[in-house]
């Protein structure tokens, strides 16, 4: 029982005979002899083995330990499935957010165009003899000039974005 338990627990912890030997300050052949049943560790060494393998001495000396490989694979598979579902949900959420950002962008651009059309370059009738008024008029004119030239390109990109993020069911 002891030989099988040492070997099984060592492997389940992912340790080689050499790694366990280094941790116990013995040679690899000693570990091999224990696992083959050719020798048995003394009581002090048994305590050291239980500490290194993080297993009670009673488990080492008790019944055979069964490797839980199948259960581990099922657990890992279940965890991976949950992670995949979470990633898919995140992707869908990001796509929805982008979709609404593109729609909002089109609405904002249309609203600014409507405001600019309604105001009909109101700043052109101002008295520019005051420096503050002149600066403010230049700012309005610069915004209008830039917006009228750049804004038509932005809705095209936004509309393409809306179609690319469209939820296909």
pLDDT score for 70: 57
Measured between alpha carbons, how far is 160 from 135 in angstroms, rounded to an integer?
37
Average pLDDT over residues 75-101: 90
**Res. 169: pLDDT tops 60:** no
pTM metric for this prediction: 0.47
User: Tokens 């929805």 label which residue?
Assistant: 96
- H or E element, residue 113: helix 69-119
Q: What is the pLDDT of residues 117-139, one digit of tens each?
A: 888 888 888 888 999 999 999 99
User: Tokens 């403010």 label which residue?
Assistant: 136
Percentage of the chain exceeding pLDDT 90: 31
Q: What is the pLDDT of residues 20-33, one digit of tens each?
A: 999 999 999 999 99
Choose from 1-10, 61-70, 131-140 the range with maximum mean pLDDT.
Answer: 131-140
Is residue 40 within 8 Å of residue 34, measured between CB atoms? yes
**With DSSP H G I counted as helix, E B as strand and the rest as coil, what are the percentages for the chain, rounded to 5?**
75, 0, 25
Average pLDDT over residues 76-81: 86
pLDDT score for 46: 86
Please tell me whether residue 53 adopts helix, strand or coil conformation. Answer: coil
Is residue 110 within 8 Å of residue 147, measured between CB atoms? no
């Amino acid at each position: 029982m002891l030989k099988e338990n040492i070997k099984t627990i060592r492997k389940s912890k992912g340790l080689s005979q050499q790694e366990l030997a280094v941790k116990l300050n013995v040679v690899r052949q000693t570990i091999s002899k224990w696992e083959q049943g050719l020798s048995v560790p003394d009581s002090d060494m048994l305590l050291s083995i239980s500490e290194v393998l993080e297993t009670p001495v009673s488990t080492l000396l008790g019944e055979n330990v069964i490797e839980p490989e199948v259960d581990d694979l099922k657990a890992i598979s279940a965890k991976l499935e949950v992670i995949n579902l979470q990633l898919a949900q995140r992707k869908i959420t990001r796509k929805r957010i982008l979709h609404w950002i593109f729609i909002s962008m089109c609405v904002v651009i249309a609203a600014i165009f409507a405001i600019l059309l309604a105001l009909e370059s109101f700043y052109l009738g101002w008295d520019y003899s005051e420096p503050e008024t002149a600066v403010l008029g230049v700012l309005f004119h610069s915004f209008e000039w830039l917006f009228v030239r750049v804004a038509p390109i932005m809705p095209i990109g936004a509309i393409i974005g809306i179609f690319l993020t469209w939820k296909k069911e």
